[in-house]
Amino acid sequence: MIPPDQVDEIHRAVRIEEVVGEFVMLKKRGANYIGLCPFHNEKTPSFTVSATKGIFKCFGCGKAGNAVGFLMDHLHITYPEALRWLANKYNISIKERELSDEEKKSLTEKESILILLKFAAQHYQNNLFETDEGKSVALSYLYERGLEEHIIREFGLGYSLNDKRGFTQSALQAQFSKRYLIKSGQCLYKTEYHESEIPETEDAIDAQFLIDRFQARIMFPIHDESGRVLGFGGRNLSADKNLAKYVNSPESPVYHKSEVLYGLYQAKKHIIKENASILAEGYMDVIALHQHGLRNAVASSGTSLTEGQVRKLHRFCEKVIIAFDGDDAGKKAAERAVPMLLEEGLMVYRVSFPDNHDPDSFAKAFGREALLRHIVQNTHDFLEYYVYENKDFLMRGPIERSSFIGKMASWIALIPNDIRRTLYIQELSKKLGIGEEVIQTEVTRLRKEWIKSKIIKEQSPSVLPEIAPNYDNQKHPIEILPVSHADESEILRLLLLYGNMVMEEEFTDPLTGQTQTKQMTLAEFVLEYMSIEQLMFNDPLHMKIFSLYYNNLTEKGFTGLEYFMNFPDDDVRGFITNHVIKNHEVSENWKKFNIHIADELSLSVKALKKSLQSLKEKIISQIIASLKNELKNENLDENEATILLHKIRVLEKERIEINKNLGRSGIKYIPES
């Protein structure tokens, strides 16, 4: 558990743009930063970070929060884990007490598996550097491949011993759960050499049937972008051709290979800085490129490139250089990757290696300088690359040329940017001597087909929106404005932003009839008004925030906004951030023309009074509706009915007066049930 004073220290040190910048490429825009949202798929940035307010908000999906909330949502971690992440980033030493046995049991499945995988990574690295087998078999192999110790340690490479239960026994001795050993993918459960289903309870798992998944292999830890180990790739060093060259961790509660890019944790800062990434095929390619100074290299994680990996890459850069192997398999993989990258809106380049080389083997054969020179000289825009690569094929005749044009047109059709798409059409026309209008027609046709197929794929009848409301049973449709919580939200927003602001309010003394001016804070005014008018929030979350605000108002050093931004409740933090950051801010340029726009602070009192009155009117409407329902009771006597009618008339009069003050007319409110 982290002591409260250290929690405060962590919050004071945090700069949200630095934290979010670890996972999203941010660009300065006015007072804020913008980037592609990591919480939903988008190609145009709608994700905003406010450094001054310490919050983020996506105007596309509505996700919002502070730095802690961002980490919790993005990395799927707990509040304490997010604090530890921040403490590590800002070099804050925290002194936590040991977890009790009960607290250890209460850890979530994901937390437990991540702790186990961290232990596994350290275990394998110890094997590599500290055991005779590791040093003689694996470390010597890595040195022969040209890797240096610093890069081996940076990527956390390790070694699994040639022992069926080497890791298993170490993990069991460290008292890790047998169930999590299996669920993490580190162990197999085999009875009589047949893999078995995991028993339902921990006690039912017989430890003697647990064996290591990885044996006699160089281990490549696979990290997420925050540095947590999610799984492993294990390379076989044996000459036995019956053994797979690579064995990778299976899908697990923490490892979803289609969402993970190998090397992204080590490369992300360099990718953001250069706004470009080199996309390689394998673990060794990535490590070799990093060692030779190309620190922006990543690879797909034990799988073909996926849409999830492409989207993740786009959050960090706009340009991708495909550096797959020069063999047939590498060429085919690159051709599958190009359209996926183009569809995401990335600028795509291609570099190839001669004589079936890959980046790793090329560096080993010719050295660092030759590798760097080759990549610089041979990196070409995808269209230029494939026109040159297919020059002999294009000379064969019209069938071959039309086939190639069709493929290029299908790729160009995927580009979301209209200007870039048009320029590629012009370039293809120029290079192949084909009329631009012919290619334009084909691209337009293909794009329409692609959009249609995408809509059909993504939408099912069950989620199609209703086109229009059904008025068949209404002879005279009326304007309907449902009772909402918008006024409550606005009151809380103004309270949180300007609660400490001193205002002057005129009031009439009921005894003397004299009008006096009274000074009070905006927070005091809200409390007094709601008490006198007996107003209450309907929304439970709004009521919770309102109560927390006034319960803490007298506490020393209480600042409403900061208190709620660091509040552990996700719903509370989400509400706060959704109501304090705006999508648009008034431009400073108006001042150049001597046009002065009143700021929100000067208008806050007026806005607050309007929202309070509107809230009062809605509550009155609800009461009126309730009284009218009572009138329908057949058991009412005449006297009771008269009293109810009188109450309704009084309330209707007050309601009409409020609406008149608010400038409303002809609106009917339907109270919430």
For 612-656, give the DSSP string: HHHHHHHHHHHHHHHHHHHHT-TT--HHHHHHHHHHHHHHHHHHH
Q: Residue 67, class by beta-carbon neighbours within 10 Å (0-12 exposed, 13-18 middle, 19+ buried)?
A: buried
What is the architecture, at CATH level 2, of domain 109-255? Alpha-Beta Complex (3.90)
- The answer to whether 230 touches 255, Cβ cutoff 8 Å, is yes
Q: Are strands 319-322 and 347-350 parallel, antiparallel or unpaired?
A: parallel
Q: Which of 587, 599, 578, 597 is nearest to 48 (CA)?
A: 578
Residues sharing a CB contact under 8 Å with residue 20, sequence separation 6 or more, in sequence order: 26, 33, 35, 49, 56, 67, 70
Token readout for 236 is 């076989």
What pLDDT, in 10s, does the model give residues 464-512? 333 323 323 333 322 333 344 788 888 888 888 888 888 777 766 555 6
**138/219 Cα distance (integer angstroms):** 10
DSSP assignment letter at 294: -
Q: How far apart are CA 66 and CA 170, in angstroms?
A: 40
Q: What does the domain layout of the chain look like in residue ranges? A: 4-89, 109-255, 257-382, 390-459, 480-583+597-673
Strands (E) in 67-173, as ranges, are 158-160
For residues 666 and 124, what is the distance between their CA atoms, to the nearest angstrom? Answer: 74
- Quick one: angle between helices 600-631 and 486-498, nearest 10? 150
Task: Give the phi and the psi of residue 44 in degrees, each rounded to 5.
Answer: -115, 125
Number of other residues whose CB lies within 10 A of the CB of residue 274 = 16
Give me the pLDDT at residue 555, please: 67
| Beta pairing class for 347-350 and 380-381 | antiparallel
Kindly compute the dihedral angle of the four CA atoms of residues 512, 513, 519, 523, in this order, to the nearest 10 degrees: 110
Give me the CATH topology for the region 257-382: Dna Topoisomerase Vi A Subunit; Chain: A, domain 2 (3.40.1360)
For residue 475 the two structure tokens come to 């002879």
User: Could you name the CATH architecture of 4-89?
Assistant: Alpha-Beta Complex (3.90)
Sign of CA dihedral 365, 370, 374, 375: positive
Buried b (16+ CB within 10 A) or exposed e, 145-156: ebbeeebbeebb
Task: Specify whether the CB–CB gap between 218 and 245 falls below 8 A.
Answer: no
CB atoms near residue 665 (< 10 Å)? 8
Please give the pLDDT value at position 482.
37
Phi, psi of 466 (to 5 degrees): -70, 130
Task: Identify the DSSP state of 136.
Answer: I
pLDDT for 599 = 54
Helix (H) or strand (E) holding 304: none
Give 525's Cβ-side CA count (13 Å radius): 26
What token pair was written down for 63?
Answer: 């996700």
**At 220, which helix (H) or strand (E)?**
strand 217-223
* Full DSSP string of 449-510: HHHHHHHHHH--GGGPPPSS---TT-SS---EEE--SHHHHHHHHHHHHHTT-EEEEEEE-T
Which pLDDT belongs to residue 461?
40
Residues belonging to the chain: 673
How distant, in Å, are the alpha carbons of 61, 462, 558 from that of 522? 32, 47, 15
- Torsion from C-alpha of 474, 475, 479, 483, nearest 10 degrees: -30
Short-list 315, 312, 334, 332, CA closest to 323? 334
What letter does residue 25 receive in the DSSP assignment?
Answer: -
DSSP label at 306? Answer: -
> Which positions of the chain have pLDDT values less than 50?
459-484, 583-584, 586-588, 590-598, 667, 669-673
Q: CA 537 to CA 547: how far, in whole Å?
A: 10
The answer to whether 305 and 337 are in contact (CB under 8 A) is yes
